């Protein structure tokens, strides 16, 4: 498959991240909150996000595209990272250069399931910051709304507020909402609990999909080397395991009956890869039948694999051999992503690294697939999911 063919598919990149601009919250949140508002300060030459004087992340480590190094190394701040990470006009230029038609947008500071907002501690401020982010994201995407898909953060710690924010987000242009895949890590009920049914119902009624991004729980083990195996080895160990977190998430959703109760609700497993999907669903089907699940739930009319085919999608971006089984068995449920500009993104950085430009990766990993399959993975499945042309 030639590079021009990649562009002809009008590729839709279903997982990218925004490196939030330094003034995102200080320019939008009531000044009465003072130093509690997330803001950037330069500490020992590095740009750092602070809340009440406490560090809560930094733009450099999450923006490694083009950087010739790896954690714990990283860019020092905004002056050292691609402008396309935080500026939407520059993002469109980046997309044009890479031959990407559309990108779906996820956060950093607020966390991959919005749990980061809990660091604010004050419920009123937490909600105000969530709403400020969602308003910002729609404005950021307005430079090319047909090419930038906004995914709304959710105040999941208050279900009723989350329901209201689903409705508000849909009304201002968000096409999807970001759910916390591990709410139990923050003292909330697990996903299968009926507590969440009003939230699922609101999303289904609003016609927005639910995104479950990996790393939505406690990620402290990424930087806490409890086994003393080395900073890089520990980071690599956790990073390679976190991709499979969503198997637990979707087990809760399927076996807990959420897919059955909300048949028109689309869900996306984001940045989790897809190689595990056929193996897990084969096991789930076997246990479903052999364990006689329908003796307990006669209303469940489909197998786990059938619920998946009906309403769940998985995203991948670096797999070669591992993705073949998923593509063969669930071609209508597979989405492509780049994870730009994160450390593992498809964008060259390390001189001796594995990351490639997207078109080069697609040619190498998918060149052998037939045209219909490539088109589904690169464009058609995502276009259907997000209502794109």
pLDDT in tens, 31-80: 999 999 999 999 999 999 999 999 999 999 999 999 999 999 999 999 99
> Mean pLDDT lowest for which of 149-158, 195-204, 262-271, 351-360?
351-360
Q: Closest Cα to residue 49, out of 110, 91, 3, 132?
A: 110
- DSSP string computed for 30-97: -GGGGGGS-EEEEETTEEEEEETTEE---TTTT--TT-S--TT----SGGGS-GGGT-HHHHHHHHHH
Residue 146 reports pLDDT greater than 80: yes
pLDDT at res. 352 = 84
Angle at 34 between CA 31 and CA 38, to 5 degrees: 95
Residue spans of beta strands (DSSP E) within the chain: 11-17, 39-43, 46-51, 54-55, 100-106, 148-152, 176-178, 209-213, 267-270, 312-316, 334-336
pLDDT in tens, 349-368: 988 889 999 999 999 999 99
Cα–Cα distance for residue pair 187/28, rounded to 1 Å:
29
Residue 374 reports pLDDT greater than 90: yes
* Residues with Cβ within 8 Å of residue 44, at least 6 apart in sequence: none
Domains along the chain with CATH numbers: 3-23+78-386 (3.20.20.140)
pLDDT at res. 144 = 98
pTM summary value = 0.96
* Residues with Cβ within 8 Å of residue 298, at least 6 apart in sequence: none
> Residue 75 has which token pair?
């860019």
């Amino acid at each position: 498959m030639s590079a021009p063919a990649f562009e002809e598919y009008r590729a839709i990149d279903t997982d990218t991240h925004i490196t939030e601009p330094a003034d995102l919250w200080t320019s939008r949140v009531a000044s009465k909150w003072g130093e509690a508002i997330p803001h950037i300060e330069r500490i020992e030459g590095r740009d750092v996000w602070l809340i009440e004087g406490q560090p809560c992340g930094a733009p450099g480590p999450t923006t490694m595209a083009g950087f010739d190094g790896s954690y714990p190394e990283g860019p020092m701040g905004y002056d050292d990272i691609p402008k396309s990470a935080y500026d939407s006009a520059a993002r469109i230029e980046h997309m044009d250069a890479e031959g990407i038609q559309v990108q779906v947008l996820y956060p950093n500071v607020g966390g991959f399931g919005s749990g980061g907002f809990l660091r604010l501690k004050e419920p009123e401020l937490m909600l105000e910051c969530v709403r400020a982010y969602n308003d910002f994201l729609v404005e950021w995407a307005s430079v090319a709304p047909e090419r930038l898909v906004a995914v709304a953060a959710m105040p999941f710690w208050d279900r009723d507020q989350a329901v209201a924010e689903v409705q508000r987000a849909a009304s201002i242009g968000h096409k999807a909402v970001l759910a916390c895949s591990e709410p139990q890590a923050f003292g909330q009920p697990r996903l299968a609990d009926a507590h969440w049914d009003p939230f699922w119902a609101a999303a289904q009624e609003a016609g927005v999909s639910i995104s479950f991004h990996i790393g939505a729980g406690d990620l402290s083990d990424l930087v806490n080397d409890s086994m003393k195996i080395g900073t890089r080895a520990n980071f690599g160990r956790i990073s390679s395991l976190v991709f499979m977190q969503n198997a637990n998430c979707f087990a809760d959703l399927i076996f807990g009956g959420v897919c059955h109760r909300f048949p028109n609700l689309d869900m996306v497993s984001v940045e989790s890869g897809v190689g595990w999907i056929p193996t897990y669903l084969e096991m789930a089907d076997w246990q479903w039948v052999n364990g006689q699940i329908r003796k307990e739930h006669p209303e469940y009319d489909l197998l786990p694999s059938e619920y998946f085919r009906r309403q769940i999608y998985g995203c991948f971006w670096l797999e070669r051999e591992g993705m073949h089984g998923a593509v063969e068995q669930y071609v209508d449920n597979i989405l492509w992503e780049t994870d730009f500009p994160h450390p593992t993104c498809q964008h060259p950085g390390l001189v001796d690294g594995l990351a490639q430009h997207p078109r080069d990766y697609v040619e190498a990993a998918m060149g052998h697939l037939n045209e219909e399959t490539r088109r589904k993975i690169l464009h058609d499945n995502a276009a259907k999911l997000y209502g794109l042309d």
